[in-house]
Amino acid sequence: MLVAPSLLSCDFADIKNEIKTVSSADMLHLDVMDGHFVPNISIGIPVVQSIRKATDMILDCHLMISDPEKYIPQFAKAGADIITFHVEAVEDCGKVIDMITELGVKPSISVKPNTPAEELFPYLDKLYMVLVMTVEPGFGGQKMIPQCLEKVKILKEEISRRSLNVLVQADGGINDETLEKTVESGVDVAVLGSAVFAQKDRNSYIEKIQKM
Ligand code: DX5
Ligand code: ZN
């Protein structure tokens, strides 16, 4: 399984060193919140730009924002490698995917816990990744809604049925208690925020999960 630590749980005043403590990960997950699409505010474009200067790791930007198409060019310019937007936040997903691809960034779409996985089916052949939220987006450290992992299975089945090559990512509440069922769901990329940053030796913890 690939591991994407979410910097939402890091010490933002010491971000350069915090990134080094998770350098064995496959990508860095950056949670962008606007206080409108979700009831919380986190980081934005200037922080992504600074992180880009601090590391060569893959930057996986999870946009929990309304009207993502307004800001996607700036996130691309700031150095995002993957941009995930929410299906619930846009009118025309196809148009937004094309925009991301044309900017030379890998496109991905996310579904909130109450949105069916099937809403992503029409776009699978144009996507690099899909993100299944396993908590309501907005906050780190929440308890997983385990039923959401069913959507991982549904998406994995559809992707393999159509012989596509799309990664399935799960995000929210993944920790020692829920890791086993997360692996069982067949997910390709696990996002972990609080569980990773609570560790003394974060890199070994990540390496342990990569072997699962
Ligand atoms: C929630 C974010 C997640 C979250 C993960 O809105 O998208 O990335 O921070 O954190 P944990 O692993 O603590 O649930
Ligand atoms: Zn996230």
Cα(162)–Cα(37) distance, integer angstroms:
32
Ligand 1 center to residue 77 CA distance, Å?
24
DSSP string over 117-132: GGGGGGGGGG-SEEEE
CA angle, 125 then 151 then 185, to 5°: 105
Mean of pLDDT values over 53-82: 98
Of the listed 14, 81, 171, 201, which one is catalytic? 171
What residues make up the domain containing 171?
Answer: 2-210
Ligand 2 center to residue 157 CA distance, Å?
23
CATH number of the domain where residue 24 is located: 3.20.20.70
Ligand 1 atom closest to 135 (CA): 1
Decide: 5 in ligand 1 pocket, CB within 6 A: no
CA angle, 165 then 83 then 175, to 5°: 80
Of the listed 31, 81, 98, 188, which one is catalytic? 31
31 catalytically annotated: yes
Ligand 1 center to residue 133 CA distance, Å?
9
Question: Does residue 180 sit in helix, strand or coil?
Answer: helix
Question: Tens digit of pLDDT for each residue in 127-146?
Answer: 999 999 999 999 999 999 99
Cα(90)–Cα(92) distance, integer angstroms:
6
Ligand 1 atom closest to 137 (CA): 6
| pLDDT tier at 167, thresholds 50, 70, 90 | very high
Decide: 195 in ligand 1 pocket, CB within 6 A: yes
Question: Tens digit of pLDDT for each residue in 8-66?
Answer: 999 999 999 999 999 999 999 999 999 999 999 999 999 999 999 999 999 999 999 99
| pLDDT tier at 81, thresholds 50, 70, 90 | very high
Question: Does residue 63 sit in helix, strand or coil?
Answer: strand
Pick from 80, 77, 67: which is nearest to 108 by CA? 80
Q: What does the CA dihedral 100, 33, 66, 46 come to, rounded to 10 degrees?
A: -50
Sequence length of the chain is 212
- Our separate counts of H helices and E strands in the chain read 8, 8
User: Which alpha helices (DSSP H) does 9-44 contain, by range?
Assistant: 15-20
Which phi-psi region, left, alpha or beta, contains residue 27 (left: φ > 0; alpha: ψ -120 to 50)?
beta
**Looking at the whole model, is its pTM more than 0.85?**
yes
Decide: 141 in ligand 1 pocket, CB within 6 A: yes
- Return all residues near 115 (Cβ < 8 A) that are at least 6 apart: 87, 88
Please count the structural domains in the chain.
Answer: 1
What percent of the chain has pLDDT above 90? Answer: 100
Q: Report every protein residue that has its C-beta within 5 angstroms of ion ligand 2.
A: 31, 62, 171
| pLDDT tier at 157, thresholds 50, 70, 90 | very high
Mean of pLDDT values over 86-112: 98
Q: What does the CA dihedral 138, 4, 85, 152 come to, rounded to 10 degrees?
A: -90
Cα(25)–Cα(5) distance, integer angstroms:
7
Ligand 1 center to residue 171 CA distance, Å?
6
What percent of the chain has pLDDT above 70? Answer: 100
Decide: 174 in ligand 1 pocket, CB within 6 A: yes
